Amino acid sequence: MSSKLGFGLMRLPRLEDGSIDIAQSSAMTDHFLENGGTYFDTAYVYEGSEEAAKKILTDRHPRESYTLATKMNTGVQPRTAESTKQQFYTSLERTGAGYFDYYLLHALGTGNLDLHRQFDTWQFIADRKAEGLIRHCGFSFHDTPEVLDQILTEHPEADFVQLQINYADWENPDVQSRGIYETARRHGKQVVVMEPVKGGTLATLPEAAEKILKTMNPEASLASWAIRYVASLDGILAVLSGMSTLEQMKDNMSFMNPDAFRPLSDAELRAVEAVREVLASQRQIGCTACKYCVEGCPMQIRIPGIFSAYNQFLRFGNRETAARSYKMRTRDAGKASDCIRCGACEESCPQHLPIRDLLEKAAGVLEA
């Protein structure tokens, strides 16, 4: 039996010069495989990640010892059918994988459904599957349960879906983790979970929430609760964790290797529900630091960094410390008050955050 933990290659460790740390990433890969992991996840748009997959994985391990997923993205310039389809062949070349076990249309949602129709990407991936270059076709998704229902009705050929699910957003009306999960299962699809730790947010909790989990199990890391929560759901193909250190890999595999894994018990589920209530009572910004909003900002505002500083203020109430962190994060970039309210960022935010209003609030507190 293999582990349900998937190794997300999006946040691989980097060296001081910005390049991916191949030695540490290789050690992480080896530890993952030795402990029953099989599923690796990359994407055409993750900078340097597909090339790294070749160096740390496909060049070093037998092809049948792992499965590899990558993704095609219609947001890449030039946005033409030809160049979008070419991403598939480039990914094959970069990874040296020979074929993809899982191939996804990346980040489907209302904003790009028409483009996928126009570019005929569904037919393109079905053809590659018929050729044996893809084993399973699917898509990752950032939208409402209704839109997911529409896609799965139009494309019953999807073998699986990749969804943003975590315990904190299970009932969150903006993310609707529960709604999208239940929709996928109603269509009989297997689910790959992304961001189970909410971009790292659930690895450090407010004191009251941390206390609930530590009382229950002083040894377990806070991230382990978030990962075990989604891995305990039915129909889960893989739970992706974007690990950045060997230490994180070791921690994750200590409870996710097939011999150690235990679904959450009823008492543990109740503890998670109590944590969810604590989190819901706080008014923090639910930014996952995915950075999708950053590239299109004409004012070079590093939005996730600003939100992180503002969250520090919301969580601990110490304006001075948060303002110092804000100053550092905005040193060579736009400030929150530079926002011209063009709205480009909000179109690309998978969390549907009202970024413009939040920046205004952050500026009010942190630039005062």
Binding site for ligand SF4 (CB under 6 A): 287-293, 296-299, 301, 303-304, 339-345, 348-349, 351, 353, 355-356, 359
CA 90 – CA 196 distance, rounded (Å): 29
Nearer Cβ to ligand SF4, position 43 or 359? Answer: 359
State in angstroms the smallest separation of the CB of 86 from ligand SF4.
Answer: 26
CA 320 – CA 84 distance, rounded (Å): 47
State in angstroms the smallest separation of the CB of 322 from ligand SF4.
Answer: 17
State in angstroms the smallest separation of the CB of 360 from ligand SF4.
Answer: 10
CA 118 – CA 116 distance, rounded (Å): 5
Nearer Cβ to ligand SF4, position 54 or 291? Answer: 291
Cis peptide upstream of residue 173 (ω within 30 degrees of 0): no
> Hey, what are 315's tokens?
């969580």
Rg (CA), the chain: 20
Per DSSP (E only), the strands in the chain are 5-8, 39-41, 67-72, 100-108, 134-141, 160-164, 190-194, 236-241
Nearer Cβ to ligand SF4, position 195 or 251? Answer: 195
CA 259 to chain centre: 26
SS3 content of the chain, % helix, strand, coil (to 5): 45, 15, 40
Total count of residues recorded for the chain:
368
State in angstroms the smallest separation of the CB of 346 from ligand SF4.
Answer: 7
Give the number of other Cβ atoms within 10 Å of residue 80's Cβ.
13
Phi, psi of 137 (to 5 degrees): -100, 140
State in angstroms the smallest separation of the CB of 176 from ligand SF4.
Answer: 15
State in angstroms the smallest separation of the CB of 47 from ligand SF4.
Answer: 15
> Hey, what are 123's tokens?
């037919």
Find, among 126, 64, 121, 125, the residue nearest to 98 by Cα.
64
| DSSP at 168 | T
Nearer Cβ to ligand SF4, position 119 or 307? Answer: 307
- Cα distances from 354 to residues 43, 101, 218, in angstroms, run 27, 37, 37
Nearer Cβ to ligand SF4, position 138 or 199? Answer: 199
Give the number of other Cβ atoms within 10 Å of residue 309's Cβ.
23
Nearer Cβ to ligand SF4, position 15 or 342? Answer: 342
Phi, psi of 327 (to 5 degrees): -60, -45
Nearer Cβ to ligand SF4, position 127 or 347? Answer: 347
> Hey, what are 92's tokens?
């094959």
Nearer Cβ to ligand SF4, position 211 or 341? Answer: 341
